[in-house]
Amino acid sequence: MNQKSRLFEIKRLKGLSALVTGASSGIGKAIAVAMGREGANVAVNYRSSKDKANEVVEEIKRHGVNALAVKADVSSPEQVQAMFDKVLDEFGTLDVLVGNSGIQKDGPFLEMSTKDWQIVLDVNLTGNYLCAQHAAREFKRRGVIPERSPSAGKIIFISSVHELIPWTDHCNYTASKGGLMMFMKSIAQELAHLKIRVNSIAPGAVKTSINEQVWSDPGKRKELLNLIPADRLGDPQDIATVAVWLASDESDYVHGTTIFADGGMTLYPGFAGG
């Protein structure tokens, strides 16, 4: 066995249980599969794509861990409650929550409907509030089990470069991600003494269905690449590797921060010419 394959033999999340919201596709799917590969039991939340969620579950189970698909609209308090009941019933407890569900409903501010404003805030912000509250209550109830982890639990939000970068025609989305940043930091501060770690990952332009109309159009894709110093779109795997690290104890001293995985999108690429 060479050194590289030995490295991959170390299962960094062995024996832990994770719930990933919005995990039937894209970034959520990559994270759920990566966590299974690292030895975690994984609950794959989905809202409507049952078949796709079941495929993700099958893929995770091939790594010899337990997995289940669990339906819930994360913006519904009742459905989130039912989801946690099911996950805790199946896994006994929870160690990692990945709040990944997120949507865009783009449009100019002057024409935006209250409906499009509200639904984005409901899913991207309130959804994370609801899931994090259930997860943190379980982490507190169980507390630290030293053989399991020095941490009582980890919460990882999938934010966006737009928690920082303003974006015309996307004010509902940027407001949700900016809000998520302060929500993350506030509860990280509040929960640290319970040995609960809360952090975010801010992806840049990762190739998923959320931005498909941009990357599938050659002209728009070129414009987008001008905003990325690394000169490539992100892959869901680029985010999954960071999520596994944040979920593992390698990051035990990391609290209340956002890790940008964006190919340098937040480096003011307009200034690159000097």
Q: Which residues bind ligand BGC (CB under 6 A)?
A: 104, 160-162, 204-205, 210-211
Cβ-closest position to ligand BGC: 160
Shortest distance, CB of residue 26 to ligand BGC, whole angstroms?
Answer: 10
Which position among 129, 173, 253, 268 bears the catalytic label?
173
Distances, alpha carbon 83 to alpha carbons 103, 150, 191, in Å:
20, 26, 22
- Shortest reach from residue 202's CB to ligand BGC, in Å: 8
CB of 132 to ligand BGC, least distance (A): 19
Which residues are registered as beta bridge partners of 159? none
Amino acid identity of residue 120, one-letter, is V
The DSSP code sequence of 180-206 is: HHHHHHHHHHHHGGGTEEEEEEEE-SB
Q: Which is nearer to ligand BGC, 134 or 170 (CB)?
A: 170
Residue pair 117/176 in contact (Cβ under 8 Å)? The answer is no
Beta carbon of residue 107, minimum distance to ligand BGC (angstroms, whole number): 14
**Which CB, 65 or 161, lies closer to ligand BGC?**
161
Active site residue 129: no
For ligand BGC, give the closer residue by CB, 83 or 205.
Answer: 205
* Angle at alpha carbon of residue 99, lines to 95 and 100, rounded to 5°: 130
Please provide residue 261's backbone torsions phi and psi, each rounded to the nearest 5 degrees: -120, 85
Per DSSP, the residues of 85-148 read: HHHHHHHSS--EEEE---------GGG--HHHHHHHHIIIIIHHHHHHHHHHHHHHHH---TTT
Residue 205 CB, nearest approach to ligand BGC (Å): 4
Q: Which is nearer to ligand BGC, 210 or 267 (CB)?
A: 210
Pick 45 or 104: Cβ nearer ligand BGC: 104
How many whole angstroms separate alpha carbon 230 and alpha carbon 265?
8
Residues serving a catalytic function are: 173
